Amino acid sequence: MTTSAGPALEVRNVSLSFKGVKAISDLSFQVERREICALIGPNGAGKSSLLNILNGVYIPDSGEIVFEGEHFRRMQPLEAARRGIGRGFQNNALFSGMSVLDNVIAGLSRKSRVTLVEEAFRLPRALSQEKAFRARALDVLKLFDLEKHAETVVGTLPYGVQKKVEIARAIVARPRLLLLDEPLAGMNAAEKQEIAAVIARLNRELDLTVVLIEHDIGIVLKLAHHVVVLDYGRKLADGPPETIRDNPDVIAAYLGAQHAEAAA
């Protein structure tokens, strides 16, 4: 684990385009360690594209990412994971026919140190690693109160429970930065509150830095320490929730009068 001082994450003058269409334009902001940073903005604002840059799926046209003091133009997704960046997706990317436990264990695959031969012949090192991975996954399931579902086929569970499984898989390898793309999408009000509480607890108890995309402004204002507002790929505002809530440009461009009244 790095001991360097400074922010957990810096986005420096990042731009990205697809076939000449700007998705992100000269974007800069930073995320402090152990902070929950929410990215908000209308659909098409560039939020998911930014997460794809942060975990190495996209290469920016220009600019750089600084993660824990190290400068990158691009990291491969596997390298990002190895450096301590975890990722959850908007649509559950679970193996629906596998158990909850096996789905979470899958999040440890990049940490495997055994060969295919050792796995195939069930040699001692493979058995030892399998035991360690299972124990780690069970510990994480307990954090989410999911141990009772450990052997349940994940595709048979309610959507809100599946979302907890996906977040459990994202943190099982002990990332220091967790990227979540609309973790509350498709949930009812009770499920949203439950998952928001899980994210807040992970941030608090594991000292986990979180960058998340979310459209529910009420949840954002309660959960996030820091909000970055994007509009057509450009940064519209950047600051603590109370500042964003009262920003007239944000209200005009994104929140709207109804949301502003609800937030107040």
Question: How confident is the model over 222-247, as pLDDT tens digits?
Answer: 999 999 999 989 999 999 999 998 89
Q: What is the pLDDT of residues 1-44, one digit of tens each?
A: 444 578 999 999 999 999 889 999 999 999 999 999 999 998 88
Average pLDDT over residues 113-130: 91
pLDDT of residue 1: 40
User: Does 104 score more than 50 pLDDT?
Assistant: yes
Angle between helices 159-171 and 124-143 (to 10 degrees): 130
pLDDT of residue 207: 94
Average pLDDT over residues 187-213: 95
User: Does 264 score more than 70 pLDDT?
Assistant: no
Q: Which residues contact 70 (CB under 8 A, 6 or more apart)?
A: 2, 83
Percent of the chain with pLDDT over 90: 74
Q: What is the pLDDT of residues 57-84, one digit of tens each?
A: 999 999 999 999 999 988 889 899 999 9
Of the pLDDT bands very low, low, confident and very high (cuts 50, 70, 90), residue 255 is low
| Average confidence score pLDDT of the chain | 91
Percent of the chain with pLDDT over 70: 94
Of the pLDDT bands very low, low, confident and very high (cuts 50, 70, 90), residue 254 is low
Pick 260 or 223 by higher pLDDT. 223
Minimum mean pLDDT among 124-133, 179-188, 253-262: which range? 253-262
pLDDT of residue 203: 97
User: Does 260 score more than 90 pLDDT?
Assistant: no
User: Does 86 score more than 90 pLDDT?
Assistant: yes
pLDDT of residue 253: 72
pLDDT of residue 98: 97
List of domains in the chain: 1-84+177-264 (3.40.50.300), 94-174 (no CATH)
pLDDT of residue 92: 78
User: Does 258 score more than 70 pLDDT?
Assistant: no
* Token code pair at residue 248: 């007239």
Q: Which of the residue ranges 75-84, 160-169, 245-254 has the most confident prediction, judged by mean pLDDT?
A: 160-169
